[in-house]
Chain A
Amino acid sequence: MDFSLNEEQALLKDSLERFIQGSYDFDARRRHLASEAGYSREIYAQFAELGWTAVPFSESDGGLDGGPIELMVMMEQFGRGLVIEPYLPSIVLTGGVLRHAGDDAARARWLPGLIDGSTTGALALQEPQSRFDLANMRTRAAPGDAGWQLDGHKAVVLNARDADLVIVPARTRGRDTDRDGVTLFALPADTPGVTIRAYPTVDGMQAGELLLEGVSLPEDAVIGTPHAGLEVLEAVVRDALLAVSAEAVGIMAVLVEKTVEYSKSRKQFGLPIGAFQALQHRMVEMFMEHEQSRSLLYMAAMKLASEAPDASRALSALKYQVGRAGRRIGQEAVQLHGGMGVTDELDVAHYFKRLTMIDLAFGNADHHLGRFAA
Chain B
Amino acid sequence: MDLNFSDADLAFRNEVREFLRTGYPADIREKMDRGIRLGREDFLRWQQCLHARGWAAPNWPVEYGGTGWSATQKYIFTTELALANTPTIMPFGLSMVGPVIYTYGSEAQKQRFLPDILASRVWWCQGYSEPGAGSDLASLKTRAERDGDHYVINGTKTWTTLGQFADWIFLLARTSTDVSRKQEGISFILADMTTPGISVRPIITIDGEHEVNEVHFENVRVPVENLVGEEGRGWTYGKVLLQHERAGIAAVARSKYRLDTLKRLASEAPEGGTALMDDPVFRRKVATVEIELLALEYTDLRTLAAVATGGAPGPESSILKIKGTEVQQAIDELYVEAAGCYAFPFTPELFTSPDIPDSTRIGPAWAADTAPHYFNGRKVSIYGGTNEIQKNIIAKAVLGL
Give the interface residue-count category, chain B: 35 or more
Least CB distance, B321 to chain A, in whole angstroms: 11
Residues in chain B near residue A296, CB distance under 8 A = 291, 294-295, 298
B291 touches A320 (CB 8 A): yes
A275 touches B319 (CB 8 A): no
B280 touches A3 (CB 8 A): no
A280 to B398, CA, bound (A): 11
A167 to B3, CA, bound (A): 35
* Nearest opposing residue in chain B for A263, CB measure: B401
Least CB distance, A370 to chain B, in whole angstroms: 7
| Mask: chain B, 17-59; 1 = CB below 8 Å from A; 0 = not | 0000000000000000000000000000000000000000000
A284 touches B3 (CB 8 A): no
* Nearest opposing residue in chain B for A5, CB measure: B1
* Nearest opposing residue in chain B for A374, CB measure: B283
Residues in chain A near residue B316, CB distance under 8 A = 291, 294-295
| B288, CB-defined interface residue at 8 Å | yes
A1 touches B4 (CB 8 A): yes
B308 touches A370 (CB 8 A): no
Residues in chain A near residue B290, CB distance under 8 A = 317, 372
Residues in chain A near residue B394, CB distance under 8 A = 284, 287-288
Residues in chain A near residue B2, CB distance under 8 A = 1-2, 302
Given contacts A1-B2, A260-B399, A274-B401, contact A281 B295 (CB under 8 A): no
A132 to B295, CA, bound (A): 24
A306 to B319, CA, bound (A): 28
List which A300-342 residues lie within 8 A (CB) of chain B. 301-303, 305-306, 308, 317, 320-321
A281 to B316, CA, bound (A): 16
B280 touches A373 (CB 8 A): yes
Given contacts A1-B2, A1-B301, A302-B3, contact A317 B395 (CB under 8 A): no
A285 to B294, CA, bound (A): 18
| A277, CB-defined interface residue at 8 Å | yes
List which B96-153 residues lie within 8 A (CB) of chain A. none
| Mask: chain A, 240-283; 1 = CB below 8 Å from B; 0 = not | 00000000000000000000100110000000001101001101
B287 touches A291 (CB 8 A): no
A267 to B315, CA, bound (A): 27
List which B284-332 residues lie within 8 A (CB) of chain A. 284, 286-288, 290-292, 294-299, 301-302, 304-306, 308-309, 315-316, 319, 322-323
Q: Would you call the interface of chain B mostly helix, strand, loop, or mixed? A: helix
A372 to B323, CA, bound (A): 21
Least CB distance, B61 to chain A, in whole angstroms: 24
* Nearest opposing residue in chain A for B5, CB measure: A1
| A221, CB-defined interface residue at 8 Å | no
Given contacts A280-B392, A294-B316, A296-B291, contact A4 B1 (CB under 8 A): yes
B400 interface neighbour in A4, A264, A305, Cβ under 8 Å: A264
Most buried by A among B2, B283, B395: B395
| A69, CB-defined interface residue at 8 Å | yes
* Nearest opposing residue in chain B for A298, CB measure: B298
A288 to B395, CA, bound (A): 11
Residues in chain A near residue B323, CB distance under 8 A = 288, 292
List which B362-380 residues lie within 8 A (CB) of chain A. none
A1 touches B299 (CB 8 A): no
Least CB distance, A312 to chain B, in whole angstroms: 14
A278 to B287, CA, bound (A): 30
Most buried by A among B296, B298, B400: B298
* Nearest opposing residue in chain B for A372, CB measure: B287
* Nearest opposing residue in chain A for B401, CB measure: A274
Residues in chain B near residue A280, CB distance under 8 A = 391-392, 395, 399, 401
B401 touches A372 (CB 8 A): no
B319 interface neighbour in A292, A299, A321, Cβ under 8 Å: A292
Least CB distance, B330 to chain A, in whole angstroms: 14
| A293, CB-defined interface residue at 8 Å | yes
| B176, CB-defined interface residue at 8 Å | no
B322 touches A287 (CB 8 A): no
Residues in chain B near residue A288, CB distance under 8 A = 319, 322-323, 394
What are 5 A-B pairs at a CB distance below 8 A?
A: A1-B4, A3-B306, A283-B399, A283-B401, A320-B287
Given contacts A295-B316, A308-B3, 5 further A-B contacts (CB under 8 A): A264-B400, A277-B395, A298-B302, A301-B1, A369-B287
